[in-house]
């Protein structure tokens, strides 16, 4: 009994916790005893008898499984429960001492006694509010920083219609009633036999007591009694004895000694799903719900604590890191909630948002946490549930364009009220000296008077030079330490914009070798010690340009509001400028003639040098702020979870949803021009509201703007859509949108590009294959694409099963590799495929050849040994170099390394990244490539190849990526050198079987259902360890052209329609000087065609000058004029498309020259 009491008194570990104060042998006995009481808080037998026998049976099965296996009820619950740090005795003492300091306690009342008593009252209230609730976990309250939690399991009534908010308030009201009753709290020891009599028909309690007696006998210990707590005559529970050898009580004498206004039930975790360890539904498996609270001596103590604790401790992430609940890519996310998160993650306990009508109060919903900080994409964000709903239908009246509408002033008034509340919070932030480290290692410290929550990056720039401060656009800040409660991870983007610049890589979960930091407003206070880089407009990574253009978009939005009362939607920066989409009614919309007045209003804002102000707002405040716009409120409702915050920015009277950052003031935008306007659709849905899109561009000076406008004019002339029509290369049709029809001359270019790559395949050891276009969806479930990519696939039903058009080739190549036993002698194996791919792109995203639904890639996959990675990557880079030098394009290389949310062992990633880095050093030399920390794919690091065209535009077409995961998913293996001979691969739990004896080499793909809603999910745990003779290959994804369609468009614009001879669809035009020489002209044409060249003849009655001119406009490389002399001499008179005459040449010489041009790719 002594050891049992000692164990209970710690109150600091779960059932399998470590108790340092006990010797090992005694500790083992104590653990066994504690196992019998792992579910320890029970209702009074009269209350428990009301529970149905089926409910009791289910509870017993769940609890029996729990304390027999010593694991929580479910893997999700296990992760949540184990992540909650249960403090040791020393930690508990330190925490309580800290709490007493905060509480201002002078020893009149021990805060731990108050909180133990509160835990008893809370447990009693929970059991009254939730019939059948049974305590799980440790015997007492589980201490966390500034509070405690208790776990309960119970049957969930799906028809009850209650959420965590309702339960939380009901429990608090019940607690208040118990406290006001002044009920005495007493403890006493009773024998196990007496406890069995008190349990009566309570099967759950009886089972636990019987287990305790059984374990006592097995362990030959002296446990014969237990301590119980009585709250009046109506309630009792197993607890600590209130009279130990010390003079201090463990809980108060009666409930009235608690101040109900000094208690807060802060969070209620949502119950988890009832799935067993294999993911199958199990009705006997009950969920665990966690109740978190804090307690203080007086109400003033609680209020004081609120000022130093988080005002809204919630788990929130940025747009692109959220998912539509139940529909997103869940395997990339970790789930956590504030009441289930460890102290290391929470940092302080927090009390949740202030309760207000319509708010969720302190109850915090479980939110997904994406631990990596990779770039955000539209696809990874939550979707507005009803994409077909037209926000304009929620307007109180029909939209009428109005200058300076009344809601502008109403919005400002609301903003000012919110800002006052935030200013009070900022004033309370701790102001202490900080150190700032510059990129060259210089540290700015005390001598520069830099202070947390006061000094800004602009102040840092001024410390360097006033000139730098004047031209700075934004800063990149990586905090090494933060002071007080910060904004980090405290706001959710609600603007719906895809941000492709910057990185918040100073997260402690990021394992990349370098940290980029977070883009930070120059005027935003620093939150502690940090590394800082001041960025200008022309920074290497274009972050400065993106911020500059994003700020310009806000000024454009302000102009649209002032001129037309437009309802803004989104306004992002894009490559080469910015745009804003706005709703302006269902009329004719904007015309090019109105761009001038938009420019004028833009200019006024620039002259006023209006500051950009950042303000954090709650979801409710944001909805209030933008109540006039159903478009903004739809974004807020979809992107910002309840109980969280987002940010808005203000410049002048424009207030807009935005994550920022921005330039310091509008005066930075010195040169600008509105370029064009067009129609767009809300959410890219043609059936939705029509929006007006205005494009613009801006620069820090007029010279840069002038150069850009000139380049735009050149680009307009080179637009592949325009040239494609002029040269009759391709067309599109509404009956197959997104699928190009390549006309005869366009097909020549397409096939020449493909043959260009095929020729290199033959020289470089690739084997070309052909794979099916359609597959049973089981293949994509096995590869993982179905879970992440299904919405972008064309799927259909065949004989009761779901099939899909392939969007990529890699899974099919894995099947080929797995079709027979492979040896190390076959590696590296290079498989190439020009198979047709289909992706279900949204109609609003389609654009010429650059974004299509049907396309082909010069796709190839290399299966190699790990020690072959460097050699293969260097060969791929050499291949890439040859291709783009042939095209006359330059390139840059970037290594994207392990993201925080990466699959596979870090040591394997490190070796792979080292191999890639060594390959790049070998290829271009050390220091001639750039690293993108944390920007690799989740399945492996990659080399991003950025090529520049004739107009210095950047295109990313080629790629080289390592993949560790598909070989695992498809159980790919090869026999290592020295392995024992054998015919068949070993079976790996039924996921993929390679049958070497099968006559057709077929591979059977089987999957198991582990996901939600019947979705099939790959279970890595099902893959067994490889036999000693086998190893996994590394898979290298590589493409030189990428999409042939996209490369077609890039090259057409790069060359401006003037194809080089080897690639040209019009290599020569034969022009007879008269009709009598047409027969000779046809003989010349036929001879050239027979030699493999693309030749046409103009046998029309047009004049010679007209024929030559038409040939030059059509971009024929050469024009052959033939007449009597040429016929006599078996020659042609040559002139090129630049109208330069090369004179008469023999046909044999022409053919030889043409062959040389093709062979040398000129």
Q: Picking from 21-30, 183-192, 253-262, 1131-1140, which range would have the lowest pLDDT averaged per residue? A: 21-30
The pTM of this model reads: 0.57
pLDDT number for residue 108: 38
Query: What would the pLDDT profile of 918-946 be if each residue is shown by its tens digit?
Result: 999 999 998 899 888 888 887 789 999 99
Confidence of residue 881 (pLDDT cuts 50, 70, 90): very high
| Burial classification of residue 33, based on how many CB atoms lie within 10 Å of its CB (0-12 exposed, 13-18 middle, 19 or more buried) | buried
DSSP letter at 831 equals: E
Which own/partner contact pairs does 984-993 have at CB distance under 8 Å and 24+ positions apart?
A: 984/821, 985/818, 985/821, 985/1030, 986/1026, 986/1027, 986/1030, 988/1022, 988/1023, 988/1024, 989/1022, 989/1023, 989/1024, 990/1022, 991/782, 991/1018, 991/1022, 991/1023, 992/782, 992/818
Average pLDDT over residues 1155-1162: 94
| Stretch 288-314: mean pLDDT | 70
Whole-number Å distance between alpha carbons of 1049 and 750: 11
Distance CA 914, CA 916 (A): 5
Whether residue 6 is predicted with pLDDT greater than 60 in this model: the reply is: no
Which run of H or E residues covers position 597?
helix 595-608
Residue 1022: pLDDT band (50, 70, 90) is low
Q: What is the mean pLDDT of residues 1018-1041?
A: 80
What does the pLDDT average to over 636-648? Answer: 90
pLDDT at 3: 37
d(CA 831, CA 515): 36
Instruction: List, in order, residues 6 or more apart from 1094 with CB less than 8 Å away.
Output: 745, 748, 1064, 1065, 1066, 1067, 1068
**645-651: strand order across its sheet:** 613-618, 645-651, 654-657
Average pLDDT estimate for 1114-1120:
95
Say whether pLDDT at 786 is over 60. Answer: yes
In terms of C-beta density within 10 A (0-12 exposed, 13-18 middle, 19 or more buried), how is residue 467 classed? exposed
Reduced to 3 states (helix: H, G, I; strand: E, B; else coil), residue 780 is: helix
Cα separation of 677 and 751, whole Å?
A: 37
Q: What is the pLDDT of residue 48?
A: 37
How much is the pLDDT for 811?
94
Q: Mean pLDDT lowest for which of 481-485, 703-707, 811-815, 1126-1130? A: 481-485
Residues 1149 and 1157: their CA atoms lie apart, in Å, by 12
For residues 996-1013, average pLDDT: 34
Sign of the Cα torsion 82, 88, 93, 95 reads negative
> Does the structure show a pLDDT above 70 at 85?
no
pLDDT, tens digit, 9 for 90 and up, residues 353-372? 322 223 222 322 322 222 33
pLDDT category at 313 given cuts 50, 70, 90 is very low
pLDDT in the model for residue 1036 = 95
Is the pLDDT score of 39 beyond 60?
A: no
- For residue 691, count other CB atoms closer than 10 A to its CB: 23
Tell me if residue 935 falls in helix, strand or coil.
coil
Predicted confidence band of residue 984 (pLDDT cuts 50, 70, 90): very low
pLDDT of residue 203: 57
pLDDT bin (cut points 50, 70, 90) of residue 714 is confident
Which burial class, exposed, middle or buried, applies to 409 when counting CB atoms under 10 A from its CB (0-12, 13-18, 19+)?
Answer: exposed
573-601 pLDDT tens trace: 998 899 999 999 887 788 888 999 999 99
Residue 538 · residue 560 · CB < 8 Å: no
Least confident of 135-149, 427-441, 633-647: 135-149
User: What confidence tens digit (pLDDT) does each residue in 191-223 have?
Assistant: 777 777 776 665 556 666 676 666 555 555 555
CA distance 502 to 541: 8
Q: What is the distance between the alpha carbons of residues 750 and 938, in angstroms, rounded to a whole number? A: 33
Is pLDDT of 66 > 70?
A: no
**Highest mean predicted confidence (pLDDT) among 5-9, 663-667, 984-988:** 663-667
Mean pLDDT of the chain: 76
pLDDT higher than 60, residue 373: no
Cis peptide before 352 (omega within 30 of 0): no
C-alpha distances (whole Å) from 293 to each of 346, 715, 950 are 14, 63, 64
Specify which of 488-492, 606-610, 953-957 reaches the highest per-range mean pLDDT: 606-610
Give the pLDDT confidence score for residue 1151 in this predicted structure. 95
The contacts found for 28-33 with CB under 8 angstroms, 24 or more apart, are 29/3, 29/219, 29/221, 30/3, 30/4, 30/6, 32/215, 32/218, 32/219, 33/3, 33/4, 33/7, 33/212, 33/215, 33/216, 33/219, 33/221, 33/223
Whether the Cβ atoms of residue 631 and residue 391 lie closer than 8 Å to each other: yes
Torsion, CA 205, CA 208, CA 214, CA 219, rounded to 10: -140
- 804/196: higher pLDDT: 804
777 band by pLDDT with thresholds 50, 70 and 90: very high
Please check the confidence at residue 888 and state whether its pLDDT lies above 70. yes
Residue 541: per-residue pLDDT: 73
Whole-Å CA distances, 155 to 67, 149, 585, 1022: 19, 20, 52, 32
Residue 666: how many other CB atoms lie within 10 Å: 25
Q: Encode pLDDT of 444-453 as tens digits.
A: 988 889 999 9
């Amino acid at each position: 009994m002594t050891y049992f009491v000692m164990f209970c008194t710690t109150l600091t570990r779960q059932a399998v916790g470590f108790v340092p104060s006990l010797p090992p042998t005694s500790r083992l006995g104590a653990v066994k005893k504690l196992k019998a009481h792992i579910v320890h808080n029970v209702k009074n037998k009269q209350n428990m008898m009301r529970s149905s026998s089926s409910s009791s049976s289910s509870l017993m099965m769940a609890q029996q499984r729990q304390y027999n296996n010593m694991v929580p009820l479910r893997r999700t619950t296990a992760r949540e429960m184990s992540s909650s740090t249960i403090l040791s005795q020393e930690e508990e003492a330190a925490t309580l001492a800290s709490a007493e300091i905060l509480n201002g306690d002078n020893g009149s009342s021990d805060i731990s006694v108050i909180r133990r008593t509160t835990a008893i009252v809370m447990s009693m209230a929970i059991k009254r509010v939730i019939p059948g609730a049974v305590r799980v976990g440790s015997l007492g309250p589980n201490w966390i920083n500034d509070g405690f939690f208790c776990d309960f399991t119970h049957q969930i009534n799906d028809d009850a219609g209650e959420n965590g908010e309702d339960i939380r308030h009901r429990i608090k009201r019940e607690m208040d009633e118990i406290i006001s009753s002044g009920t005495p709290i007493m403890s006493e020891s009773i024998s196990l036999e007496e406890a069995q009599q008190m349990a009566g028909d309570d099967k759950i309690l009886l089972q636990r007591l019987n287990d305790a007696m059984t374990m006592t006998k097995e362990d030959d210990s002296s446990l014969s009694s237990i301590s119980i707590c009585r709250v009046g005559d109506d309630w009792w529970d197993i607890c600590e004895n209130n009279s130990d050898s010390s003079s201090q009580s463990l809980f108060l004498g009666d409930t009235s000694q608690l101040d109900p206004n000094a208690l807060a039930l802060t969070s209620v975790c949502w119950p988890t799903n009832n799935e067993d360890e294999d993911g199958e539904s199990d009705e006997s498996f009950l969920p665990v719900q966690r109740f978190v609270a804090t307690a203080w001596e007086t109400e003033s103590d609680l209020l004081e604590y609120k000022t130093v604790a988080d005002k809204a401790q919630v788990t929130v992430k940025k747009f692109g890191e959220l998912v539509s609940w139940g529909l997103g890519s869940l395997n990339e996310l970790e789930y956590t909630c504030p009441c289930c998160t460890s102290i290391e993650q929470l940092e302080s306990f927090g009390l949740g948002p202030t309760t207000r009508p319509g708010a969720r109060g302190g109850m915090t919903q479980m939110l997904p946490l994406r631990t990596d900080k990779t770039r955000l994409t539209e696809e990874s964000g939550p979707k507005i549930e009803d994409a077909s709903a037209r926000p304009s239908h929620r307007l109180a009246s029909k939209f009428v364009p109005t200058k300076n509408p009344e809601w502008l002033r109403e919005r400002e008034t609301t903003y000012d009220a919110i800002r006052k509340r935030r200013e009070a919070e900022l004033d309370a932030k701790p102001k202490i000296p900080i150190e700032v480290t510059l990129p060259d290692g210089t540290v700015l410290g005390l001598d520069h008077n830099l202070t947390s929550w006061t000094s800004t990056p602009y102040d840092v720039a001024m410390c360097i030079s006033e000139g730098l401060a004047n031209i700075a656009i934004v800063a990149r800040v990586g905090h090494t330490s933060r002071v007080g409660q910060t904004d980090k991870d405290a706001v959710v983007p609600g603007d719906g914009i895809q941000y492709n610049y910057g990185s918040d890589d100073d997260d402690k979960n990021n394992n990349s070798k370098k940290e980029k930091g977070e883009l930070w407003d120059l005027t935003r206070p620093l939150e502690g010690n940090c590394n800082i880089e001041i960025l200008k407009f022309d920074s290497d990574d274009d972050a400065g340009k993106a911020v500059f253009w994003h700020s310009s978009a806000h000024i454009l939005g302000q102009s649209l509001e002032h001129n037309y009362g437009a309802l803004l939607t989104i306004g992002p920066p894009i490559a080469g400028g910015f745009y804003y989409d706005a709703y302006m009614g269902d009329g004719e919309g904007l015309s090019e003639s109105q761009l001038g007045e938009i420019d004028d209003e833009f200019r006024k804002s620039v002259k006023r040098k209006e500051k950009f102000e950042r303000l954090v707002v709650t979801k409710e405040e944001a909805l209030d702020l933008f109540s006039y716009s159903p478009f903004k409120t739809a974004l807020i409702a979809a992107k910002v979870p309840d109980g969280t915050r987002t940010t808005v920015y203000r410049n002048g009277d424009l207030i807009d949803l935005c994550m920022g950052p921005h330039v310091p003031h509008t005066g930075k935008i010195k040169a600008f021009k509105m370029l064009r306007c067009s129609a767009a659709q809300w959410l890219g849905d043609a059936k939705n509201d029509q929006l007006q899109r205005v494009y613009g561009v801006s620069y820090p000076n007029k010279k840069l703007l002038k150069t850009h406008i000139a380049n735009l004019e050149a680009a307009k002339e080179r637009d592949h859509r325009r040239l494609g029509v002029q040269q009759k290369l391709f067309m599109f049709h509404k009956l197959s949108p997104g699928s190009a029809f390549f006309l005869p001359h366009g097909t020549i270019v397409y096939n020449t590009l493909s043959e260009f790559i095929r020729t290199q395949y033959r020289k470089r050891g690739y084997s070309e294959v052909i794979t099916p276009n359609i597959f049973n969806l089981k293949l994509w479930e096995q590869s993982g694409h179905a879970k992440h990519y299904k919405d972008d696939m064309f799927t259909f039903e065949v004989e009761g099963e779901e099939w899909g058009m392939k969007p990529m080739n890699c899974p099919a190549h894995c099947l080929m590799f797995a079709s027979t036993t492979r040896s190390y002698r076959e590696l590296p194996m290079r498989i190439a495929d020009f198979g047709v791919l289909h992706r279900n792109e949204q109609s609003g995203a389609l654009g010429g050849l650059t974004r299509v639904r049907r396309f082909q890639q010069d796709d190839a996959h290399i299966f190699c040994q790990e020690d072959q990675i460097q050699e293969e990557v260097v060969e791929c880079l050499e291949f890439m170099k040859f291709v783009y030098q042939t095209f006359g394009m330059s390139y840059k290389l970037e290594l994207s390394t392990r993201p925080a949310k990466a699959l596979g062992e870090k040591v394997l990633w490190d070796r792979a990244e080292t191999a890639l880095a060594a390959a790049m050093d070998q290829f271009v030399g050390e220091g001639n490539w750039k690293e993108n920390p944390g920007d690799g794919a989740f399945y492996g690091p990659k080399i991003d190849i950025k090529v520049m065209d004739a107009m210095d535009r950047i295109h990313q077409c080629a790629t080289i990526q390592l993949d560790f995961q598909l070989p695992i998913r498809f159980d790919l293996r090869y026999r290592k050198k020295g392995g024992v001979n054998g015919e068949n691969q070993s079976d790996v739990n039924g996921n993929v079987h390679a049958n070497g004896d099968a006559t057709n080499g077929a591979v059977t793909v089987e999957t198991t259902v582990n996901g939600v809603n019947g979705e099939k999910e790959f279970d890595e745990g099902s893959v067994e360890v490889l036999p000693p003779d086998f190893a996994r290959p590394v898979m290298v994804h590589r493409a030189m052209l990428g999409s042939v369609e996209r490369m077609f468009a890039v090259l057409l614009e790069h060359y401006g329609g003037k194809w080089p001879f080897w690639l040209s669809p019009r290599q020569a035009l034969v022009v007879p000087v008269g009709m009598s020489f047409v027969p000779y002209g046809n003989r010349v044409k036929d001879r050239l065609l027979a030699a493999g060249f693309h030749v046409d003849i103009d046998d029309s009655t047009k004049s010679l000058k007209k024929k030559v001119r038409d040939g030059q406009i059509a971009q024929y490389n050469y024009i052959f004029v033939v007449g009597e002399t040429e016929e006599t001499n078996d020659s042609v008179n040559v002139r090129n498309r630049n109208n330069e005459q090369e004179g008469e040449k023999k046909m044999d010489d022409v053919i030889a020259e043409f062959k040389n041009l093709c062979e040398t790719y000129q």
